[in-house]
Amino acid sequence: MQTTASQSLAFIQAKTVFWLSITIGFLFSGYWLVRDLNQEQARVIARYQTQIQHSQAYAIAAASRHNEGLAKQFITQLMSDDSILAATLTDDSAQLLAHHKRPHAFAPPLYLWLSKQIFPDSSELKFPLNNAETPVGELTITVCAVTAAKQFVERNVGLLLKDFLHTMLLAFTLLGLFYWRLSRPIALLDSWVTTHQKKRTPMPLLLRDRRDELGRLAFSFDALCRARQTAESRLNALAYYDSLTGLANRSRLLQLLDERLEPLNEAGALLHLDIDRFKTINDSLGHPIGDELMRVIAYRINRWLTDSNVCARIGGDEFAVLLHRVTLAQAKTHAQTLLDLISQPYSIDNHQLYCSVSIGIAAFSPQAPSASIDLLRQADTALNRAKLAGKNCFASYEQSMQTQVDTFLETEKGLHLALAEHQLELYFQTQVNEAFQLVGMEALVRWHHPERGLLGPDQFMPIAEETGQILTIGQWIVERACQQMARWLDMDILPSSFQRLAINISPLQFNHRKFVDQFQEALNKAHLDGRWIELEITENLLLENVSNAARKMRQLKQFGVSLAIDDFGTGYSSLRYLKHLDLDVLKVDRSFVTGLHLNDSDQAIVDSIITTAKRLNLEIVAEGVEDILEMKALTQMGCERFQGFLFDTPQPVEFINQQLRSGKGHRHQDEPAMTHW
């Protein structure tokens, strides 16, 4: 905070000392002036008494002899004093012997006021005349009070001037003393503290040698500044550096990117690294082993870097490497070097560990500048492409990837409005038996996008799963599907062959801690018995946490629902979990059904799945049946339920209701597929 000169403590102190000294000086001068004024009348009377005593012999002689001539001569001599306005000499019988009077002269108001202070009642003085102690007469004189006032002023002006000079000398002496002993050290302390906060400077000698409060205050400020600088250093380390590895963190990386990109004079590249399978190592061996692995990987990368390049840890198992003065081709060479470097074995706490890394590359140059956050996003997009390519590889950013990113962001944004603006709708696809009777339906969500038209779930549900919006959308699907199933039952239009309505449950939704309670609430709101609902979960969800899945499945079975594994056969080591899970249905993935009658390998796989399901008393539903020959091959293997375009495409509820009311719940196998039923 800036202060003006008039606001400074030194100025305020100087002003205070100056006016205090002046005030005290004037008070003392005024006191002595008033005291002198009060004594002025006595001095005037004493002076005239002395003066008359020298010549009163003439007055006594004139009064005792009644000699008017001598009396007049005495009065005339007495009136030679200009300060006497009138003089009267009388004898012992009060007979006038001589009298003289002169007119009053003009006087300024100040003198008139002072004359009243000196002679408040009268300026007439009476002196008795005695001859050998015998009264012989009386002398009366009238003193000019203005003259007395003038003489008083003349005498005291010099004294006042002298007092003023003494007061000023005292004031400046005090000013100098206070400035040197107090104001100057305070100003020096203020200047030093201000500078010390920005740049560490030694304490001035004047402050260091003091042993009073200012000295202690200076040392306290110094200690506080030291503590503050230490705290700032620690905060800077926490804010811009990773506490585990000591590398720069994401915030520091963005700062460095801004410095490199503005102004952008040379080419470079940003490498985004993600350690493959790190979660498996961390979960199986514990966080201490995982942390040590991160430190060793960071050490390897940092040791490999040159001075002009920077490595940062920007996530739990993510690193970024900023390469300076490299082309895209050189960046790819460096990326391959990092792949080889990180894939070398690690020996940590008696564990021999192996891990790989996926790398995304985003290049920048003066010809193709980018903002720091955009460059990091591009590298992340390329990293995702490398992971999709099988991991343990690298991919460089291409402009076409940005289109995918933009589509992702646009879809994510649109999903926030989809539910609120009633853009989502449930479609239903029929499931039939070998006699083409309607035995079930599957609820499938569609999005009426305001710009892109009707979108299938494959165009937005993966994004909803990744962003977490699937929790809201999934619950909406469950509630709407239960409500619709309850309406069909109330309408009494379902054929007797109909068994249940299937609802797909996403992994994120199934693993949510409140899923079971939310599903029960949906049943209660719809007043629906759980036996009319079939929940489909993916095979890979079971493999992630079998015990948790089994526990939730047992809870769901209490409501009477059926549980199905969707896309069965696309996961790994599924069969050994089936006997531990409370399942009802296996849905054979469409990848095995398409062209089944033409592929012996697919037939062998499907036949094994159906045989296993029957031995475990599980129903089989074949997905993606589009050809009558596929259906015949499945029927020969023992499959009893089918779903696919051969029978119907997914349709809105109005169309389904129309077909149910018209009694078209089944058709003969020789009839062509109903395109819109």
Q: Are residues 340 and 373 in the same domain?
A: yes
Q: Are residues 523 and 610 in the same domain?
A: yes
pLDDT tens per residue, range 635-654: 999 999 999 999 999 999 99
Q: Are residues 634 and 509 in the same domain?
A: yes
Nearest to 244 by CA among 278, 291, 282, 281: 291
Taking residues 295-304, report their average pLDDT.
Answer: 93
In whole angstroms, give the CA distance from residue 429 to residue 445. 11
Average pLDDT, the chain: 82
Q: Are residues 26 and 112 in the same domain?
A: yes
* DSSP string of 166-219, one letter each residue: HHHHHHHHHHHHHIIIIIHHHHHHHHHHHHHHHS--PPPHHHHT--SHHHHHHH
Instruction: Collect all residues with Cβ–Cβ distance below 8 Å to 442 and sequence separation of at least 6.
Output: 428, 429, 431, 501, 502, 503, 504, 536, 643
**Helix (H) and strand (E) counts in the chain:** 24, 21
Collapsing DSSP to helix, strand or coil, 534 comes out as: strand
Q: Determine phi and psi for 462, rounding to 5 degrees.
A: -60, -35
Taking residues 74-98, report their average pLDDT.
Answer: 81
Owning domain of residue 565: 428-661
Q: Are residues 444 and 586 in the same domain?
A: yes
Kind of pairing between the strands at 346-348 and 641-642? unpaired
> Does residue 671 belong to any structural domain of this protein?
no
Taking residues 44-64, report their average pLDDT.
Answer: 77
The last residue of one of the domains, among 397, 418, 439, is: 397
pLDDT tens per residue, range 590-605: 888 988 888 888 888 8
B/e letters for 533-542, b = 16+ CB within 10 Å, e = fewer, are bbbbbbbebb
Number of domains the chain contains? 4
Q: Are residues 10 and 62 in the same domain?
A: yes
Cβ contact 251:240 at 8 Å? yes
The CATH number covering residue 536 comes to 3.20.20.450
Structure tokens belonging to residue 637: 């293997």
Q: How much is the pLDDT for 669?
A: 42
* DSSP string of 639-670, one letter each residue: --EE-STTT---EEHHHHHHHHHTT-SB--TT
Taking residues 43-67, report their average pLDDT.
Answer: 77
Q: How much is the pLDDT for 676?
A: 34
In whole angstroms, give the CA distance from residue 643 to residue 587. 10
Cβ contact 125:143 at 8 Å? yes
Q: Are residues 227 and 255 in the same domain?
A: no
Q: Are residues 255 and 236 in the same domain?
A: no
pLDDT tens per residue, range 509-548: 998 999 999 999 999 999 999 999 999 998 766 666 677 8
> Does residue 676 belong to any structural domain of this protein?
no
> Does residue 189 belong to any structural domain of this protein?
no
What percent of the chain has a predicted confidence (pLDDT) above 90? 35
Residue, of 551 and 663, whose pLDDT is higher? 551
Q: Are residues 386 and 502 in the same domain?
A: no
In whole angstroms, give the CA distance from residue 583 to residue 620. 11
Confidence of residue 366 (pLDDT cuts 50, 70, 90): confident
Q: How much is the pLDDT for 218?
A: 66
B/e letters for 101-110, b = 16+ CB within 10 Å, e = fewer, are eeeeeebeee
The last residue of one of the domains, among 397, 416, 450, is: 397
Q: How much is the pLDDT for 666?
A: 42
Is the pLDDT score of 568 beyond 90? no
Structure tokens belonging to residue 231: 């705290």
Q: Are residues 287 and 338 in the same domain?
A: yes
Q: Are residues 232 and 277 in the same domain?
A: no
Q: How much is the pLDDT for 199?
A: 63
Q: How much is the pLDDT for 668?
A: 40
Q: Are residues 160 and 215 in the same domain?
A: no
Collapsing DSSP to helix, strand or coil, 346 comes out as: strand
The CATH number covering residue 283 comes to 3.30.70.270
> Does residue 367 belong to any structural domain of this protein?
yes
